[in-house]
Amino acid sequence: MLRRLDLSPSGNDVFTAAHQPIPSGRAYGGELVAQALVAATSTVDADRRVHSLHGYFLRPVDVTRPTTWSVERVRDGRGFSARAVRGEQGGREAFRALLSFHLPRPGVQHAVAAPEGLADPEDLPTTEQALAGGPDLAGVRDARYWAHERGFDLRHDPAPVYTASDPRRTSRQAVWFRATEPLPDDPTAHRAALAYVCDYTMLEPVLRRHGAHWSDEHVVTASVDHAMWFHADGRLDEWNVLVQDSPAAGGGVGLGTASIFSRDGRLLATLAQQGVVLVGSGEDA
């Protein structure tokens, strides 16, 4: 993950980034979100912290080719800075984001509490263990990637829907996560890691609610837009939890929402993502 977030300067507010090879051949969405954040952060004074990001996935990104990230300095005010970021590959725009940074100052403060009764991550199976307890994985394209090649250790409650559906048809889930490698102490690295992890499971509550799973050949998913608000800094190489739900789905798209809490209960971020979700014929199950 850290290698993919090490962008190379290639001009005035222009950067180049490589991508992790993954089985689909299309760059992982969270990697794009995080690269856009890193590019924008590189153009902002160090005392300003990102507080919101809104992005659109416009085209698939080929993992075998680099992406160019161009940053527009939209505005620098006394307390806030706005940046627009374009990700292009082969001269075609693939991702666009608008980010806002601010200079933290004293003010009103409150946050929702983490839900009570969450399972401890140590008591939940790793992805590798969860997959081992399922069906034969010989024909599952992404099994090795899920188990060994992602930037985070993810542990689900209820059980993940990689290869089998959830018979309860609930849209609620909790996913504990931590980076699989130690991260630097710099808070900007942890904000980028927070952006990176965002896309792994954001549409999963929609699949869970409709009795579908990721390896079903009749399931089609694609992230369309993504929004996140950063509330507090945390360490992403320690356990944190995504508390997720899906308020609505229809017309071929589904909405996933999430709150991210640190293990000690601090609210780190709020997320929302809408994406294409087709199950079977594309009609509601």
Give the residue numbers annotated as catalytic, written as ranges.
199, 223, 273
Confirm if 202 and 271 have CB atoms less than 8 A apart.
yes
- Order of strands, edge to edge, in the sheet holding 267-279? 8-11, 14-17, 67-76, 80-89, 92-102, 49-57, 219-230, 267-279, 253-262, 240-250, 173-179, 152-157
Confirm if 129 and 175 have CB atoms less than 8 A apart.
no
Cα separation, 209 vs 248, in Å, equals 10
Confirm if 49 and 40 have CB atoms less than 8 A apart.
no
Cα separation, 8 vs 272, in Å, equals 29
Joined tokens for residue 44: 């902002």
Residue 98 CA to its chain's centroid (Å): 16
Report which of 210, 228, 224 is spatially closest to residue 278, judged by C-alpha positions: 210
Rg of the chain (C-alpha set): 18
Cα separation, 77 vs 53, in Å, equals 18
Cα separation, 128 vs 150, in Å, equals 12
